[in-house]
Chain A
Amino acid sequence: MMKLAWLNLHRNPSRALLTIFSVFIAAFFSILFGSTKNGILNSSIDSILKLSGGHIEIRSKSYSKTRSIDDIMYLDSATLDSISMLPYVKSVLPVLQSYLLISHSSSPSTKAVAIIGIDPEAEKDRILTVSEMVEGEWFSKCDKGVILGENMREQLGLGVGDTLAVMGMGYHGSSAVGLIPIQGIARIPVSTVDKSTIFITLSAAQELFQADDCYSEIYIMSERLDKVDLIKSQIQNKFSSEEYEIRDWKSIIEEYLFYFRFADAIGFIIMLFLYILVGSNILGTIIMMTKERKLEFSVLISIGMSRNKLSKSLFYELIIVALLGVILAVIITLPIVHYFTIHPIPLYGEAVATLKQFSIYSGLYMSLDFTLFIKQFLIVLGICLVFATYPIAFIQHLKVDEGLSKRDANEDNL
């Protein structure tokens, strides 16, 4: 029977190809749409994480409560290195932040600002903080100057080359006092940061606050969203839960989660429509190719082939066709999806322009996720299996004498 099914496919290649094609189209679009949907979701999560920190945040428990410079944590460089060596860790962003009063000799007023010490190299992975330099250069490792936003520059009425007098509390009772030149002006898309924050290199910050090897927090970016839990558990092995607070992206973006669920639901509805669309296409093809063979089925039943045997043979035929269609779709979509995980699909329009301005948007990426492939593979195959009941029911209810009559027998198989 298997052989007959296989041979039957060759008999009318255009019919078989048509069915394969309709299955292929179904799987093709399901996979592409699913990948795009996941890609959008992942990159939105990424964008928000870039705004807020990283996939995982580490800080000391006490600092988390007090936000006081006295409660920041000490970590030796070996510990930091060991984190960056964990599998799937994309980058480790150590930060030392605090508050200062700044003033300038040309004006009597002082201003309270947040100061963030960052690792200039690692920070490049966070596109948020600085989208581009307006004046001056981005930090190199040992720079001592500060970079601030355009808004802050206007407030202060100062520019590159001017020197700020800073004053604040240092680590463990010391004082943080110094003269720091302005080394650059940056465009900072997030306005609260633009208004109130100045940036400095991590090493300069540690020197200023007399806090060598101390950090207020460590942000960790993961290569893949689904590996965050793994990284987190390994970090938890290194850091005692009594001393350190380790949060992951889920708790960080909790406030946004509703929107993700919403987007997910919309994606699901679109997906459903897609399935209905491609499903009815498959069903149409199956119905057509079943009806077309009425005479053939009638002859076979007449000469003594049982309806069950015939159904089975036809079922095999459909399974072969469906498998070919889905496998073909996977083979073809794999490189496409892979390509678009690296190269974004450019989108245009006002909304996109706004997003771009905030550096949140960098294009429409797809997500290459094998479970998605397997899921769509099974769904489309499942749809085909459900539809395979049509020819089976058709055969079970076929009236042989009608099928044989010339009234509606098609004669192309003479």
Chain B
Amino acid sequence: MNELIDNDKSIIVRTENLSKSFLDGKSVIKATDRVNLTITSGEFTAVVGPSGSGKTTLLNLIGGLTSPTSGKVFVKGKDINQLTDKELVNFRLHNIGFVFQLLNLIPVLTVEENIGFVMELQGADKEQRIERTAELLEVIGMRDRAHSRPSSLSGGQKQRVAVARALASKPLFILADEPTANLDTEAAETLLNTMLLLNEKEKITFLFSTHDPRVMNKARRLITLEDGRITKDETYVR
């Protein structure tokens, strides 16, 4: 049965009774509670829920940044928790793009260098990097800021560069934990439109979390979490 599912080329992520508990003093917090979830290629999915519902923990588990208390995460059929820390870092480098809420960019590098950074880690040569970086700058509409430092960018611009950086490594999918949380409405909208554009034109898979209703409205699939459990999983045609 499992084999069958994972042989389906379109399945990127699958979790199996995924749980993560934290010890908070004497009480156990089930941040993620027996989550079964499948993400297929090309999805534009938002994980929603109130603060403390377990969005960050779930994304961290899927991204291999946190190890589960029980259950499994398969990425392209591979049980990522079987990997050593070293292998996991390398796995992330080649398969997952990350966009965080805070400090995504390396402040001392220019926009261009930031985008090229993961490619450099991957061992891409300079020409490849320049070509791809130019391409991505075009997509996010920031060609004129190629040589700026992150500190001179607005919050929205920084997040768009972060998306470009995440894309540069040609990952299977992009994980974004509350990418709009620090942005005003307009910037949030621009960022979401950029992500949507990438999703539609380039078939990039996005899994992001948010508690902003306006952002949710753009998602094609909404996974609602409450106390670490999935309470709703709805798909929309927009």
Contact = CB atoms under 8 A, between A and B. Distances in A.
B16 interface: no
B92 A303 contact: yes
Q: How extensive is the interface on chain B, given as a class?
A: 20 to 34
A68 B200 CA distance: 114
B118 A303 contact: yes
Contact of A11 (B89, B92, B102, B107): B107
A305 B169 CA distance: 12
A305 B89 contact: yes
A411 B181 CA distance: 14
A305 B94 CA distance: 11
Contacts of A305: 89, 93, 121
Contact of B102 (A307, A401, A411): A411
A399 to B, nearest CB: 8
A114 interface: no
A10 B103 contact: no
Contacts of B166: 303
Interface residues of A, number: 26
B103 A295 contact: yes
A404 B61 CA distance: 13
A401 B165 contact: no
Contacts of A414: 102-103, 155, 182
Given A4-B108, A401-B60, A304 B103 contact: no
Interface in A298-338: 299-307, 309
Contacts of A296: 103, 106
B65 interface: yes
A190 interface: no
Given A304-B93, A414-B103, A400 B182 contact: no
B151 to A, nearest CB: 9
In terms of DSSP, what is the predominant structure of the interface of chain A?
helix
A14 interface: no
B63 interface: yes
Interface in A1-27: 4, 7-8, 10-11
A304 B121 contact: yes
Interface string B51-78: 0000010001001011000000000000
Interface of A: 4, 7-8, 10-11, 295-296, 299-307, 309, 400-401, 404-406, 409, 411, 413-414
14 contacts: A4-B109, A11-B108, A303-B166, A304-B90, A304-B92, A304-B94, A304-B122, A306-B86, A400-B65, A404-B65, A409-B103, A413-B102, A413-B103, A414-B103
Given A11-B107, A303-B165, 18 more contacts: A4-B108, A8-B108, A296-B103, A299-B103, A302-B63, A302-B92, A302-B98, A303-B97, A303-B98, A303-B118, A304-B93, A304-B94, A307-B85, A400-B66, A411-B102, A413-B103, A414-B102, A414-B155
